[in-house]
Structure 1
Amino acid sequence: MTASQRSATLLSGLLIGAGAAHFAAPRQFDAIVPRSLPGSRRTWTYASGFAELAVGAAVAVPRTRALGALAAVGLFTAVFPANVKMAYDWRHRSTRLRAIAVARLPLQAPLILWALKVSRDARRR
């Protein structure tokens, strides 16, 4: 397995794992759905979990990897407001939890760059 295949496999695993977590423990995700979104928070939790599963599956398959990785870029961008909401909502929690919530914010940038690299690598093959 090449380095680019390993990278794609890891990205796919991250997305599929995160997507599955939305169904296994939805309450924690419901809490970070921005209130400004219409409808039920649980619906948004399940929809975002399904999106992560679908994008992860697309990244896993070599034929759809380039497009799937670009979809991951969109997904990582789209969930950023939820991470901001989490950081704001957790501002009065313990130092450890505040640090976790704030650390998620800059983490989006390397995730986006990683997905872009996976997409570029897939197009080169």
Structure 2
Amino acid sequence: MIRTGLRWLLAAFYAFAGAIHLADPQPFLSIMPGWVPMPHAVVFWTGVAELLGAAALVQPVSLALRRAGAIGLAAYAVCVFPANIHHFALDMARADGGFGLGYHIPRMIAQPILVWLALWTGGVTDWPLHRR
């Protein structure tokens, strides 16, 4: 019951984020590291990936598709981590401190939790909650 509720919550989070990526890409472009090629395309396709991953995570028919969506969202969270670090560095270099440590530190901590949560709610892993 908890896993299902968190799976739907995570899917809603990623669906919302995906929609925002597509509707208003500018905030995401502003935190994109300079070494990322074709930043507009990257932001567009990350939005699409979030939407597809969210849809796969909540579909009721195929456990294999749900797991694939979970793995995709976990991989996505790993891949966007450099942008989060870049945003942290940019923000902290601002005279006003940007969003500040109260925003960035929890965001950094949340990233590996999002990876695990995608895998756990998608049924890819039971770690560390599996009972023997």
Instruction: Check whether TM > 0.5.
Output: yes
Identical-residue share of aligned pairs (%) = 27
The amino acid that maps onto 1:113 is W
2:63 is the alignment partner of 1:65: no
TM-score (normalizing by structure 2): 0.82
The amino acid that maps onto 1:118 is T
Does the CA contact (< 8 Å) of 1:65 and 1:122 recur in 2? no
Instruction: Give the match for residue 110 of structure 2.
Output: 107
Q: Unpaired runs of 5+ in structure 2?
A: 127-132
2:53 is the alignment partner of 1:55: yes
2:119 is the alignment partner of 1:116: yes
Distance in structure 2 (CA, Å) of the matches to 1:110 and 1:10: 14
TM-score (normalizing by structure 1): 0.86
The C-alpha deviation readout for 1:19-69, integer Å capped at 9, x for no partner, is: 001122211000112211122x22211111111111111111131212211
Instruction: Give the match for residue 41 of structure 2.
Output: 43
More helix by share: 1
2:9 is the alignment partner of 1:7: no
Corresponding pairs, count: 121
| Shift >4 Å, 4+ stretches | none
